[in-house]
Amino acid sequence: MELREKLNIPYPIIVEGKYDRLKVLDVCRANVLTTDGFGIFKKNEKLSLFRSLGEKTPIIILTDSDGAGKLIRSHLTSAIPSDRIIQLYVPQIKGVEKRKKVASAEGTLGVEGMESKLIYDLLSPFEDKVAIERFKENPLCKMDLYIDGLTGGADSARKRDELAVSLGLPQKMTPNALLAALRILLSYEEYLQKVGRK
């Protein structure tokens, strides 16, 4: 991809699946969260996470432009305050994604099948120039969660739940989902204070 350096997007971006997430991360640095496709209809804790994040920051929604994507988008917009949602749409382009043998039911490409430049252009108006510094200043990573007993231990799930509740987030979050939320909600210093490491 012959583009300028990656964008720095300060808002969480919600996409449908892991391949959509990889496509978006190809062009930007951001917290990209997935609905796990139709999994969002069964995972109340994930929808609660999105709702909690929406109370604190604008959220970009970037789903496929087919019927399934519209259904997922509608489900998200019913849970997140409308004034906190940035709706982005990919065009309906006929085709088959490289990793698939057959086209989708509607025969159109999803987010993962779009040209990287198109995704870049969609997101570029939302770049925050100071986000570069924020990313540098917040080195919070999975190792921190491990050090603080939030992952890898017998009691980690309970500790994650307690931290999540204290921040107004849902319980039963995976370590990756919690990490994504923490990087949005807290500076590294605030995180260290919250877990009692400072």
Interatomic CA distance for residues 49 and 117, integer angstroms: 30
pLDDT digits (tens, 9 = 90+) for 182-194: 877 788 899 999 9
Q: Check: CATH 3.90.76.10 for 7-132?
A: no
Strand (E) positions, the chain?
7-8, 13-15, 28-29, 32-34, 59-63, 85-89
Interatomic CA distance for residues 198 and 191, integer angstroms: 9
Instruction: Kindly state the percentage of the chain with pLDDT values over 90.
Output: 41
pLDDT digits (tens, 9 = 90+) for 96-128: 777 776 666 777 788 998 999 999 999 998 887
Backbone angles phi, psi at 58, to 5 degrees: -60, 150
Q: What is the pTM of this model?
A: 0.74
Interatomic CA distance for residues 163 and 111, integer angstroms: 33
Q: Indicate the domain borders of the chain.
A: 7-132, 138-193
